[in-house]
Amino acid sequence: MPRLALRFSTQTLLLQLGVVLLVVLLSGSVHAWLVYGRIGAEAENQALTLARTVASDPVIRAQVQAISNEPGTPPPGVLATGAIQAAAEAARSRTGALFVVVTDETGLRLAHPDLVRLGERVSTDPSDALSGKEVTTRNTGTLGPSAGAKVPVFAPGSVATVVGEVSVGYSMESLGQSLAEDIVPIALTAAGSLVAGVLASFLLRRRLQRLTLGLEPEEISTLVHDQVAVLQGVDDGVIGISADGRITVFNAAARRLLGMPEASGTPGSPAAAGSDSSGANLPGTDWTGTDWENAAVPAQLKALTQPSAHDAEAVEIVAGGRVLVANARKALHRKEDLGWVVMLRDRTELQQLTRQLDAVGTMSTALRAQRHEFANQLHTIAGFLSIGQHGQAKDYLARISATGPLKFPVQQAELLQDPYLQAFVGAKSVEADERGVALRIGPETLVREHVTEPQDVTTVLGNLIDNAVNAAVAGSSTQRWVELELLDEPGPDGGTLHIVVADSGDGLGGVEPERVFVEGFTTAEAAEGGTARAGGQGLGLALVRQLVRRRGGDVRVLEPGSPGGPGAVFMATMPGVTGSPGVTGSPGDAPPAGPSGAAEPSAAAEHKEGHQ
């Protein structure tokens, strides 16, 4: 059977335990060795002190000199009962030394604990002491290993004439007993260190497992590669927020969808510029490590991660000139809270396609509504011809030619020369007429060129007309109308189209004009302050402003209106959307014109004065 590989955390634990055990053993051994050396040094010093004391004893000095001056050495029996033996044994008994040995100038023992050894030569070299030097030694003699000292014995009244030596030693066994007494705190200290090291190793192992979620290094490496591949390979924006509220993931798609260019600095440093839902510039970073609550992202995204938010609840927001669908999910791993994952999906193209289809459907409905009128006109002409009223048939045809074969219910429609605007505004007039609202073209309308960006014009013009019709229907005035003025301003990179829309509603009431362009502003929200100009999900005017500003123009409120009418007046300036037939503009080619740079048509000014 193949051997099972130990987990990384287990390997780390065993390695840490081995290191701790080795360090404790080495530390304990060194400590014990140092203690042993200290005890030996203390024994040597004590032996040296005792040897000096014995060697300086006048009785010892006189007796040693007397024996040295005699020929030969007294027999052991005489030495055993002599004063030197008595003094040496008294000092040994008093201090607990292993031995106190006194010799003559030739190294023969004059005093020794073992009486049998008296008169014999010492087992260790006495030459250093007999030459007048004091030495400490650690050696093994007839009584066993010892730590001691050798001191010369000088003749009475002399400091130069050596007549013998004194050797004192303490047993190494007694040193071991002293070490044994000191080894207990050493062992306790080592054991405590080992227990602390083991406990710290186990705690570190648990923390390592918690931080890595129990994954092995190979698994973590694979996850990192997979994460990079997935986050960079998807078109959806992904934002990861950790459990402590910090951004851990902010992929390139999320920056692109939120209108934030790629970051070029280090984490947490200013590196790029983004824009919020109102189009204002914001400082950009790569966001990693940034506090989520302080991040410059739309407030709707932050609301999705609040504790009271429902998991996976999707909302629509406008950011970076796009309509985004955002939702957040709680991230869990083995019941552990890992934070939130916010997903962003782009619905801009779908919204634009929906508006285009709405425009086509509107015009189709208008054409179907006019089909009966066209058929009736043909029947009328056929009737005149069948009864021979050729003159009346001719006059009837002339009237039809003057007004067009299909008559939209829009007043002063002849002021519109562009076929696209004719068809679109005419279709909108049919919808307004069905709701009891008269759509009319202002007398100052003048569009000399053709629309080259019908998609953008549809989005802006359709939104403003729809909001104006809603305001007129909700208004208190008995005469419900919407007035539209269009004026183009030729330019080298495409003409600028100025759009002014007014209605008979009750205006904005107490609502701040800029607030109607905030994402999420709806009719229901503004009901207390007046007739709101935004409807649906509160994305229309916000998206319109984003779109127009991206082209270099702007949308703003010229007049907030008043209760009882006339209502609010909106103006949109769209650079680069008109031109000669066959010329197509581009948002990137649009001239940089902002809210204050666009020329306000005189028709709008006169219309404002008429509403005062």
Read off the pLDDT of residues 556-571 as tens digits, 9 standing for 90 and up.
898 888 888 788 899 9
Residue 9 has pLDDT above 50, yes or no: yes
Predicted pLDDT at 574 = 92
Q: How confident is the model over 215-231, as pLDDT tens digits?
A: 777 777 777 777 666 66
Sign of the alpha-carbon dihedral angle for 265, 270, 272, 277? positive
Residue 280 has pLDDT above 90, yes or no: no
Predicted pLDDT at 519 = 65
Nearest to 136 by CA among 167, 92, 96: 167
3-class SS string, 565-608: CCCCEEEEEEEEEEECCCCCCCHHHCCCCCCCCCCCCHHHHHHH
Amino acid at 579: G
C-alpha distances in angstroms, 482 versus 441, 455, 468? 9, 22, 6
Lowest mean pLDDT across 124-138, 421-435, 499-513, 517-531: 517-531
Proportion of the chain above pLDDT 70, given as a percent: 74
- Give the Cα separation of 473 and 481 in Å (integer): 9
Q: What is the dihedral of CA 380, 385, 386, 388, to 10 degrees?
A: 130
Predicted pLDDT at 311 = 59
Lowest mean pLDDT across 349-353, 415-419, 421-425, 470-474: 349-353
- Give the Cα separation of 387 and 379 in Å (integer): 12
Residue 98 has pLDDT above 60, yes or no: yes
Q: How confident is the model at residue 587 (pLDDT cuts 50, 70, 90)?
A: very low
Q: How confident is the model over 255-272, as pLDDT tens digits?
A: 878 877 555 443 333 333
- Give the Cα separation of 530 and 508 in Å (integer): 5
Nearest to 567 by CA among 473, 488, 493: 473
Residue 25 burial (CB count, 10 A): 12
Proportion of the chain above pLDDT 90, given as a percent: 6
Nearest to 565 by CA among 510, 508, 506, 501: 506
Lowest mean pLDDT across 51-60, 267-276, 428-437, 555-564: 267-276
The CA-CA-CA angle for residues 350, 356, 358, to 5°, reads 100
Query: Could you tell me which residue, 226 or 535, shows the higher pLDDT?
Result: 226
Q: How confident is the model over 196-213, as pLDDT tens digits?
A: 877 887 888 788 777 777
Nearest to 79 by CA among 89, 69, 93, 91: 89
What number is the average pLDDT over the span 392-416? 69
Residue 539 has pLDDT above 70, yes or no: no
Lowest mean pLDDT across 28-32, 81-85, 163-167, 339-343: 28-32
Predicted pLDDT at 285 = 44
Is residue 439 within 8 A of residue 485, CB to CB? The reply is no
Mean pLDDT of the residues in the chain: 75
Sequence-ordered list of residues with C-beta below 8 angstroms from that of 87, at least 6 positions apart, any chain: 54, 57, 59, 60, 111
Residue 365 has pLDDT above 80, yes or no: no
Residue 572 has pLDDT above 90, yes or no: yes
Helix (H, G, I), strand (E, B) or coil at 490: coil
DSSP category for residue 294: G
Sign of the alpha-carbon dihedral angle for 127, 130, 134, 138? positive
DSSP 86-155: HHHHHHHHHHT-SEEEEEETTSBEEE-SSGGGTTSBPSS--HHHHTT--EEEEEEETTEEEEEEEEEEEP
3-class SS string, 387-416: CCCHHHHHHHHHHHHHHCCCCCCEECHHHC
DSSP category for residue 273: E
CA 444 and chain centroid, separation: 56
Is residue 449 within 8 A of residue 578, CB to CB? The reply is yes
Amino acid at 266: T
Predicted pLDDT at 199 = 84
**Cross-strand bridge partners of residue 484:** 441, 501
Nearest to 331 by CA among 209, 205, 213, 206: 213
Q: How confident is the model over 138-185, as pLDDT tens digits?
A: 877 767 777 889 999 998 888 788 889 999 988 776 666 666 666 777
Residue 499 has pLDDT above 90, yes or no: yes
Residue 534 has pLDDT above 50, yes or no: no
What number is the average pLDDT over the span 276-295? 57
Residue 498 has pLDDT above 90, yes or no: yes
Q: How confident is the model at residue 500 (pLDDT cuts 50, 70, 90)?
A: very high
Helix (H, G, I), strand (E, B) or coil at 457: helix
- Give the Cα separation of 495 and 305 in Å (integer): 45
